[in-house]
Structure formats: structure tokens, C-alpha cells
Chains A and B, each alone.
Chain A
Amino acid sequence: MTTVLELRKVAKVYGSGPSAVHALHAADLRVDAGELVAVMGPSGSGKSTLLTIAGTLEEPSEGEVLIGGVGAAGLSANARAQLRRRSIGFVFQDFNLLPGLSATENVALPLELDGVGRRAAHAHAVRTLDDLGLADRAGHFPDDLSGGERQRVAIARAVVGDRQLLLADEPTGALDSMNGEAVMRILRAACKRGIAGVVVTHDAQLASWADRVIFIRDGRVVDETAPPSGPEVLLDKDLSR
């Protein structure tokens, strides 16, 4: 399996001297194509810092970030921005859609910014919205969509084109449980189609959609779930009383 994201001994320190805050300590993470990984930890544990560094939005104080085998540190600011546009999709808790653009225009925007012609970009955006069950919402503006629909549009924007990596920060935080489930089904399906996904969350239900869950505490990766094992044993006798 191709490794899409690799963090090697990544550390992040904000500030210096006695007031320095160590947000991450020597964090290692590998995510392969087709894999959905959840990074779980409480507020202030460093999980959002890990995500912004993985997305090349911030530079680590130490260590390396590789996207598709390419080290981000060696790239110019412009090349990093291009890498983000082409290879990485972001999904945030509060959707971050542009209110003056329709669903299609929001989804087409990263392609247009990357030089794809308007017509082709829109056709691609409509196909992606259709894949996520939003064909009939393509012309709507964000204010006319429900929370669940807005997040699905945000996911469409994150996976449109040839993105390899999807990074999501509490993507279901603003949604009720059934809309949250619909969003996680879509994220999981995107990963099954070959994208590498990382979701950071404090929410156990959300994390349980992942193939692998990494636990982070005080900036350190402290634990990880075991891969699913053999035949499915459902409930033990104690639970089925």
C-alpha cells in the first residue's frame, strides 16, 4: 500500500524560553492510501497542531513531513501552496464554505485556483456533488443548506480533483448524530476509493469509523488501536443479558 502521509519525529514548540509551549513531541504517523485514521485526544492535546502540520499549514519545529513521499520542508512557499491545492483537502467543524458562492462554485474553486478552466471545473464539481447525493443542491448557496448538507459540500470540495489526502478537524462537531453518521459514511467511502484520511476528534463515536485510532495526550502519541482481528465475535454473554 502506498504511504500518502508520513510524519517523522515531528515536534512543535510555540514561543521560547520559560513560556515555551511544547504542543507536539516527536510524533510519528504513517497513513496509507485507502486508510482512514482517527487521532483522538482531549482539548489541548496537540491533535489540531498535528493536523495543521500534516497539511503543511504550519511548519514543525523539528522532524519531517512527507506528502506522497515528498518532503514538505524542501519546498518553496509557492510549491507548498500548490501541493496543498492539488493533493490535500481540508474539512473543518464549521464548514468554511464561501457564503457568496453556490455549492458548485465552492467545490469548483480549488480546481479553478489551480488553473482548471471554469467549465471543466464546474462539470467536475457537479459530478462530485452528485456522488455525495447533493445533485439537487448544486445551485444552492450555503445559507440555504442544512448543516449536514453544508458539511457534505465541504467534503466534496475537499475530495474534488486528484486529492490524495483528506484532513478533517472535528468534522461532525456541529452536527446531530444522524447527520454526523452520514458525514462519516461519506468520509469512509472516500477513503475506500483510495484517499488517505486523517480525522482529529475527541468524539469516540466519530473515531470509531476509522480503520485505526491513534491516541494523543500532552503532545505525545501514547497508544493505538489494534487492527481488526479475524472472525467477528459480536457480544460476549455478559453484554447480551
Chain B
Amino acid sequence: MSVRHALLALLTEGPEYGLRLRQEFESRTGDVWPLNVGQVYTTLQRLEREGWVESDDAGSDGAKKRYRITDGGATELDRWLRTPPDATTPPRDELVIKVQVAVRMPGVDVHDLIQTHRRQLIEAMQHYTHLKADAPADDIGLALVVDAELFRLEGLVRWLDAAGVRLAKLPRAAAPRPGVPAPDPAQVRA
């Protein structure tokens, strides 16, 4: 997630202090994505170096500075909004790697491993769903962020379900043998 661009977007509403930007960011994402103060100021300094924001008083420390977006910053924000997220290179998903490795390890019950991960993912999903269920109906920031997390986690659960079915159907002779390297998921193109 781009904190830089989220801060630029907040600054389109008018000049703001760093601390206030942090509060706004957290409240608009339903407090689901916490930001630490240091991260905010480091990001603002970087944006200032890029010429995308400017501050009132270059001499004072971060807390006393009020930042505003520049024309260059507005152009960059527009470019970022319209650029598709990088969906071409699959991420090196840790869960995929764990299951890939386990399939080839003697003495590991891969179905048991899949169930352990399935349960933990469902527990995380319960947490988010209950957060959404208990939130005020107009908390759109929280609903959008929580939905995104739920769909992402659901995707992992569905992948585990499919992996379980594939492995159960695998004839013994075709089962992966120890020593045969698994394809690197990051090298597999969609």
C-alpha cells in the first residue's frame, strides 16, 4: 500500500500538519492500517525532496511544519491513481511456499498443515467480519478496507481448499518425490 500517495491525497483537501495527517489516514482506513509518527514524517520528508509537497517553515522540526501539495505532487497523484497495481508478477506468497515445501517433506501430513492454515485464516476473517458487523453503518472507510482484507484472505482459503482436493486426487505414483524441486511461484507467470 502506498502511504506516500495516501498522504498526497489527504493534502489535496488543504494544507495539514503531519500529526493530523496520520490521524486522518488512520480514521479513514477504519484504524485497520496503523501508521507510526516516524513513518509519516519520513514519508513527508521524502515527498518534500521529490518536490511533491512543500512546507511552511523549512527551519522548524516536523511537528511544527504544515505541508501542502505542489502542482508536481498533484500530477504524480493523478498518475498513480490511473496506473494499474502490479498484478503481472505473482508475489512470492509465503503460504504457497510452505505448502509446496511440505508436499515434498517426509513425515509431514500436508492435509493437516492445510487445515491448520485454513483455521488460522478463518480466525483472521472472523476478526475482520466482526469488526465490520459492530461498526456504524456509515463507516465506509472501515468497510472498504475490511472487505479488501476479507476477499484477500478468502482467496487464500479457496486456494487451500483447491490444493487439498488436488493433493487428495494425486495418484501415489505421481506424488511429488523428495528431491524434485518445486517450481518457484514467483517464476510462474499468470
Contact surface of A with B, Cβ cutoff 8 Å: 40, 42, 185, 188, 202, 204-205, 207-210, 213, 215, 217, 222-226, 228, 232, 234-235, 239-241
Q: Shortest Cβ distance from B93 into chain A, in angstroms?
A: 12
B1-42 CB contact bits vs A (8 Å, 1 = yes)? 100000000000000000000000000000111100000000
Can you name 12 A-B pairs with beta carbons within 8 Å? A42-B161, A204-B121, A204-B154, A205-B125, A209-B126, A213-B122, A223-B119, A224-B119, A225-B119, A232-B127, A235-B149, A240-B34
- With an 8 A cutoff between CB atoms, is B45 at the interface? no
Question: What's the interface size class on B, roughly?
Answer: 20 to 34
Q: A52–B111 Cα gap in the complex (Å)?
A: 27
Instruction: Find B133's partner among A188, A202, A225, A239 (CB 8 Å cutoff).
Output: A188
Cβ of B172 within 8 Å of any chain A Cβ, yes or no, is: no
CB of B119 within 8 A of CB of A208, answer no
With A222-B115, A225-B126, A232-B127 as known contacts, state yes or no: A204 contacts B158, CB within 8 Å: yes
Q: Which A residues are CB-close (under 8 A) to B129?
A: 205, 208-209
Q: Does B150 contact A205, Cβ atoms closer than 8 Å? A: yes
Q: Which of A205, A240, A241 is within 8 Å of B154, CB to CB?
A: A205
Q: Is B123 an interface position by the 8 A CB rule?
A: yes
Q: How far is the CB of B156 from chain A (nearest CB, A)?
A: 9
Chain B residue numbers with a CB within 8 Å of A217 are 115
**Residues of A close to B115: CB separation below 8 A:** 215, 217, 222-223
Binary A-proximity of B107-124 (CB < 8 A = 1, otherwise 0): 000000001001101110
Residues of B with Cβ closer than 8 Å to A?
A: 1, 31-34, 115, 118-119, 121-123, 125-131, 133, 149-150, 153-154, 157-158, 161, 164-165
A234 to B115, CA, bound (A): 23
Inter-subunit contact B165/A213 (CB<8 Å): no
| Cβ of A54 to closest chain B Cβ, rounded Å | 21
Known: A42-B165, A223-B119, A235-B149. A240 touches B126 (CB 8 A): no
Contact B149 A40 (CB under 8 A): no
Apart from A208-B128, A240-B33, A240-B34, 12 more pairs, CB < 8 Å:
A40-B122, A42-B164, A204-B154, A205-B129, A205-B150, A208-B150, A209-B126, A213-B126, A222-B115, A223-B118, A225-B122, A225-B123
Q: How long is the Cα–Cα vector from A210 to B31 in the complex, in angstroms?
A: 23
B131 and A232 within 8 A (CB): yes
- Residue contact A204 to B1, C-beta cutoff 8 Å: no
Asked whether B125 lies within 8 Å of A204 as measured between CB atoms, the reply is yes
The 8 A-B residue pairs whose C-beta atoms are closest, nearest first, are A208-B125, A208-B129, A204-B157, A240-B33, A204-B154, A208-B126, A225-B123, A234-B32
